[in-house]
Structure 1
């Protein structure tokens, strides 16, 4: 079976790692996997030592300019659709045309999209399409649309306009219209994974999570000797101050992984005798059991590992989805939050105090045992099995994306 895997250009970093996990599992079963991503160079950095056999450039929008008058933050999946191209008919038609040609060239038997609304619109007309995601990135349908994360937020675009743009795009390719914006997701097979406790839409869900992706809850006694595991992103504002705080906190051994790390930053960290610099995110995540506490920006895969093991966590969020996760897990009382803009001394002192607070460790161990008692499975085998069952039978040919006799043009 030939599988195409892609994700939108502004997805959380953990979703990229999840795409790698699913693709690797499919390849181990003998399937061919072709990744189509917006930034192939960054994708290879995320992949680490494992290199996919096919990697292609995806049609994506340019990042928005850094203006003083910024747009409102994305607050729900409808806003994500707007920022992905649905708010402008010309843009959406261009992206859809490029996706049509990309899919026709690769000829996949099945398509997997992670938080990829344009691909979810186009993909089902070529091959069975899976909408794969965790609680934040795969929303439930609410009426004809999707629920918002904040009741007082302003939509980025009118949903009737986005629906009209989507239907105009589908009509140009000879496909039937959608009845509602929510049909973009409804036209795919949805597979949800991840901790229910991390799902901001949990109370509105009708589907059940398939489990934790790539692991099962495994509470572990904290190590006798204190040690920190730190997961950072070089794009975080104030990352230099955080790095200096890490370097200055030399009271215990420390393991660190920095996504997109620069050569000078790596050399600086490697000169610190108490620091071990890791080149792969997954490698350090596997060693998290040896850590007394985890420090990260608020990414779901690291937070999930921390809850599964029973480790206190320090969150340093700088993106909207990370702030949402920090808010969601606040009731668990196993984590602290710190702004990336605090001083070097304050951040270093926070590392120290995090390890000294026994209530955090007690709460973390409690939730790890509770999670283990639920018997939540590893979702990966089930996801692979469901994907294999969805592939279209050999010999089935879908209609051409552009009807014969029609010439594709892009209208304004």
Structure 2
């Protein structure tokens, strides 16, 4: 039986793991091993999909920066973002590359399927064939220096180029101790023998620089378009946030101030603790909602501009209020604005509850916004590909 290692290293949400699971479900007859950075978050999802048939081990963990000052560091390329995690610090990179190498030695995979996992790519040094999946953000074009990541910028400045050089220097110092081949471009660590960026044009930060085709974002389930927003009978607002979001408190308060039924799910916090902070008109979900059921009935979706959530909201024809607090989410928010179906609120300074409540009430009454959301849903549904995982499964099969 052939062994497939599936892993991701960065990212706080479930989008990376959902993509890996979708690919794994097509790899029949293989031993599946998931190496996860966050076992508490990922194990339930893997078990729900595979039961005990899949193995789960602790993967490589790059701890997210906790210094509030890190959010003030300008991030113009992918290098600027990855450097915030300490990837250019040689001792840390060596230690985590050794951890990745130990995973490879213990699991002995015949194939790696990865999503945002550059350390494992560095450790494997091309010895194990790799198929890479990811969103547009996590797969910059390979074989070249990094392009600007902000779609509204066209030139990379010297600080970002210097940062890319420091990262590449650290990577090649590790590779030299491995006695392996040099890595010519930092972007190449995010490529495999086959790479499949899963995105659509509006959300691809590298669209102007990308030459390979992109794949429909298959980690997003089929979401039916809901009825006209004015006819929907679900919550006036559905709020989906991570527990560390700086605008969580005013968002919960704004939902309570609506005076209409609202629902929330907060990843990473105890539901009872969340409920204690909410008004009586706000229902709290204990687990992630089924978007295919919840969003077509929702009148306004409020979230942090996570990519998978944004896709789902567009497909449901649901107007979205987004509050991005990092660059990836800001890029997603810009993509939503291109559809004309979202309102963006800044996070610095944190918005006040009263401001958010007024914005929400305005969106609930905005017929033009709702019409644009309906048009966006129909446009996106027309682009859907029947089997976007098929080419990825075929690429994997070629190595098994």
| TMscore range, shorter length | 0.7 to 0.9
Matches within 5 A, 1:72-87: 72-87=73-88
Does 2:340 match 1:333? yes
Instruction: Note the C-alpha offset of 1:172.
Output: 1.8
Q: Deviations over 1:170-219 (max 9, x none)?
A: 23223222333343245542111122211111122112222131445744
**Cα pair distance change 1:23/1:281, threshold 3 Å:** farther
Query: Could you say which residue in structure 2 is the equivalent of 1:261?
Result: 269
Equivalent residue of 1:330, what SS? helix
Matches within 5 A, 1:61-140: 61-64=62-65, 66=67, 68=69, 72-140=73-141
Query: Could you say which residue in structure 2 is the equivalent of 1:38?
Result: 37
Query: Could you say which residue in structure 1 is the equivalent of 2:203?
Result: 198
Q: Is the 8 A contact 1:14 1:300 kept in 2?
A: no
Instruction: Note the C-alpha offset of 1:300.
Output: 1.0
Q: Is the 8 A contact 2:116 2:190 kept in 1?
A: no
Equivalent residue of 2:4, what SS? strand
Does 2:223 match 1:222? no
Query: Could you say which residue in structure 1 is the equivalent of 2:321?
Result: 314
Q: Is the 8 A contact 2:71 2:326 kept in 1?
A: no
Instruction: Note the C-alpha offset of 1:44.
Output: 3.9
**Cα pair distance change 1:96/1:225, threshold 3 Å:** closer
Aligned match for 1:370, one of 379, 386, 394? 379
**What's the Cα RMSD here?**
3.0
Matches within 5 A, 1:5-404: 5-9=6-10, 11=11, 13-19=13-19, 21-22=21-22, 25-26=25-26, 29-44=28-43, 53-64=54-65, 66=67, 68=69, 72-141=73-142, 143-149=144-150, 150=153, 151=155, 154-155=159-160, 157-214=162-219, 215=221, 218-222=224-228, 224-226=231-233, 227=235, 228-251=237-260, 253-268=261-276, 272=280, 274-281=281-288, 283-340=290-347, 341-391=350-400
Instruction: Note the C-alpha offset of 1:20.
Output: 5.5
Q: 5+ residue gaps in structure 2? A: none
Q: Is the 8 A contact 1:141 1:147 kept in 2?
A: no
TM (norm. structure 1) is 0.82
Q: 5+ residue gaps in structure 1? A: 392-412
Instruction: Note the C-alpha offset of 1:133.
Output: 0.7
**Cα pair distance change 1:250/1:26, threshold 3 Å:** farther
Instruction: Note the C-alpha offset of 1:389.
Output: 2.9
TM (norm. structure 2) is 0.84
Equivalent residue of 2:216, what SS? coil
Instruction: Note the C-alpha offset of 1:263.
Output: 4.4
